[in-house]
Structure 1
Amino acid sequence: MENIFFPKVVQAVAGENRTVYAYMNDGSIRLVDMKPMIKQGGIFSQLEKDTFFEERLTVLNDTVAWDLTGEHDPTQCIDIDPFTVAECPAVADPLEIVG
């Protein structure tokens, strides 16, 4: 029986210009550009607000999410499929201090 890997986000950090650095359970860091989804409108239009994008960004349902209620309720969030996140470009850790 083949083992199937399910990607999970363990940490999400807001980047510049509506991007998110997603730290994955395989050790990779993925850069998620949310601008195309925001352009689609609907639920994603809430991510246009600076304070909402940065302050409500979290990890829920093992993926990048925005908490709608502030109560960390996994049913009350905007979340991105973790397989979609895993397909985003891998990048270097932006939190590492380069010396």
Structure 2
Amino acid sequence: MFSEIVQVVPNEDYTVTVYFEDGKIVLYDVAPLLGKEAFQPLKDKSVFMSTCTILNNTLAWDLAGNRNVSRCIDIDPDTLYALQAIEDRTA
């Protein structure tokens, strides 16, 4: 069981800082996925930045803008929690 995601912060370089309930912070790099068809909408940086949220209890992009879990791109939370912890970028 992974710790719950409590905050996600998109960054201009196509990474997302992900904060977990237990204090772990990871940096997820979306750039390598932008060539895949499902991730094409995120190539538009304004879409990447403005639709980044928490849906399905994980990092997601709410493409429909209505919190519809079937119309989002999301990342497996186990994948996120398995990443190496980083120092808080805002500290």
Q: Secondary structure at the match of 1:75?
A: helix
* 1:77 and 2:62 correspond: no
CA distance in structure 2 between the aligned counterparts of 1:44 and 1:84, rounded to whole angstroms: 17
TM-score relative to the length of structure 1: 0.84
CA distance in structure 2 between the aligned counterparts of 1:91 and 1:6, rounded to whole angstroms: 17
Unmatched tracts of structure 2, length 5 or more: none
Of residues 11, 14, 31, the one that matches 1:15 is: 11
Compute the RMSD of aligned alpha carbons.
1.3
Of residues 75, 88, 91, the one that matches 1:93 is: 88
Larger radius of gyration: 1
Conserved in 2, the CA contact under 8 Å of 1:7 and 1:83? no
Q: How many residues align?
A: 91
TM-score relative to the length of structure 2: 0.90
List, as ranges, runs of 4+ consecutive aligned residues in structure 1 with deviation greater than 3 Å: none
